Amino acid sequence: MKRIAVLTSGGDAPGMNAAIRAVVRGGLEQGWEVFGVRQGYAGLMGGDFVSLSARDVGGIIQQGGTVLGSARAPEFKTEEGRKQALANLEARGVEALVVIGGGGSQSGAYALSRMGFPVVGVASTIDNDLYGSETTIGVDTALNIALEAIDRLKVTASSHHRAFLVEVMGRDCGYLALMAGIAGGAEVIVLLEVESDPEEVIETLKAAYRRGKAHAIAVVAEGATNNANELMLYAQENQKRIGFDLRVTILGHVQRGGMPGAFDRLLATRLGVGAVERLAGGEHGVLMGLIRGEILATPLDEAAGRKKPLDLGLLEMARVLAK
């Protein structure tokens, strides 16, 4: 093999840059030329390639986001779009592609690999919903950012006897909400995976007030049927007397933009190097992930399009502990 390419796709995740650096320097070590593709599959279809040297990926391991840029590119779901991408790869003599991204991106990787092109995926999404990796690049950092915010909200909430509805990211998956709720000691956790009753949420906050708590926190997943604003509206419309003064904080994209912590830098580095090693060994059509502490490959036909289920037993544990 002489040339490979690497791209980042879907929502950005802290640690993507560490993975790019690992793929580039690992590839150079193999004697390959490594191209970076800008803006994910949009750049792959548009021919936006740049040859990367070891120096080009210097000073990025500690940066959040992705220096290659990322995009949502619906045209890649069409065969014409992917044919255009293949033509661009072939025109540059690129023989394999590394796709750093989440579930949708790995479905794209699988679609390309089914057309005969060698692709290796790297599990990267703050949602942690990818089958084939117990945890994915960006999750740990995003979770710590959410936790820091919750800890701060608790401080001010205690001063004013307030309850906060804290909305964390996760349009399609409640992992961040569940884990931030447990680690942040929330009184209530509202997920999209479990049907929630706004009345019950309000009653739980009210009960916390009656037990003499100085504050209460409800962590709400962005994608929950009753998101933070809807819960607030319900409380207002029903003139609910909770005891606490109720406020909403939506953390939103703040959770994405942090500097990757040690865990995500190390995970991303190991996954990026793992991707190169698999390609060097002639293996492709796989997703690199962390399984029982090891960097392992799962066939894309098993991983793509398959969502990792949440451990809902943890929700019950959180409920028991929120005394």
Is the CA virtual torsion 68, 74, 79, 83 positive or negative? Answer: negative
In contact, 85 and 288? CB cutoff 8 Å: no
**Which residue from 26, 104, 118, 121 is in contact with ligand ATP, where contact means CB under 6 A?**
104
Nearest residue by C-beta to ligand ATP?
Answer: 104
Q: Known binder of ligand: residue 92?
A: no
The interface with ligand ATP within residues 10-39 (CB under 6 A) comprises 10-11
The answer to whether residue 174 forms part of the interface with ligand ATP (CB under 6 A) is: no
Point out which span in 7-15, 144-152, 192-200, 308-316 binds ligand ATP (CB under 6 A): 7-15
The interface with ligand ATP within residues 37-56 (CB under 6 A) comprises 41
Is the CA virtual torsion 52, 70, 309, 164 positive or negative? Answer: positive
Helix (H, G, I), strand (E, B) or coil at 219: strand
Backbone angles phi, psi at 22, to 5 degrees: -65, -40
The answer to whether residue 114 forms part of the interface with ligand ATP (CB under 6 A) is: no
Backbone angles phi, psi at 38, to 5 degrees: -80, 145
Six-digit token pair at 246? Answer: 């109720």
Spatial separation of the C-alpha atoms in residues 12 and 209, rounded to whole Å? 39
The answer to whether residue 105 forms part of the interface with ligand ATP (CB under 6 A) is: yes
Verify whether residue 264 is a known catalytic residue.
no
CB of 271 to ligand ATP, least distance (A): 15
Spatial separation of the C-alpha atoms in residues 123 and 127, rounded to whole Å? 11
In 127-206, DSSP assigns E strands to 162-168, 188-190
The answer to whether residue 113 forms part of the interface with ligand ATP (CB under 6 A) is: no
Helix (H, G, I), strand (E, B) or coil at 165: strand
- Count of residues engaged in binding ligand ATP, rule: CB under 6 A: 19
The answer to whether residue 76 forms part of the interface with ligand ATP (CB under 6 A) is: yes
Kindly tell me which of 41 and 244 has the beta carbon lying closer to ligand ATP: 41
The answer to whether residue 83 forms part of the interface with ligand ATP (CB under 6 A) is: no
Q: Known binder of ligand: residue 210?
A: no
Strand partners, 216: 163
Strand partners, 299: 286
How do the residues of the chain divide into helix, strand and coil, expressed in percent and rounded to 5? 45, 20, 35
Six-digit token pair at 213? Answer: 């708590």
CB of 9 to ligand ATP, least distance (A): 5
Q: Known binder of ligand: residue 203?
A: no
Among residues 127, 129, 140, 264, which one is catalytic?
Answer: 127
Kindly tell me which of 129 and 187 has the beta carbon lying closer to ligand ATP: 129
Spatial separation of the C-alpha atoms in residues 257 and 26, rounded to whole Å? 26
The answer to whether residue 307 forms part of the interface with ligand ATP (CB under 6 A) is: no
Q: Known binder of ligand: residue 126?
A: yes
Kindly tell me which of 42 and 153 has the beta carbon lying closer to ligand ATP: 42
Strand partners, 297: 288
Six-digit token pair at 152? Answer: 């701060």
In contact, 17 and 270? CB cutoff 8 Å: no
**Which residue from 107, 128, 133, 255 is in contact with ligand ATP, where contact means CB under 6 A?**
107
The answer to whether residue 103 forms part of the interface with ligand ATP (CB under 6 A) is: yes
Which segments are annotated as binding site for ATP? 11, 72-73
Which segments are annotated as binding site? 11, 21-25, 72-73, 125-127, 154, 162, 169-171, 185-187, 211, 213-215, 222, 247, 253-256
Give the footprint of ligand ATP on this chain (CB under 6 A): 9-11, 41, 72-74, 76-77, 101-105, 107-108, 111, 125, 127
Catalytic residues: 127
Which segments are annotated as binding site for substrate? 125-127, 162, 169-171, 222, 247, 253-256
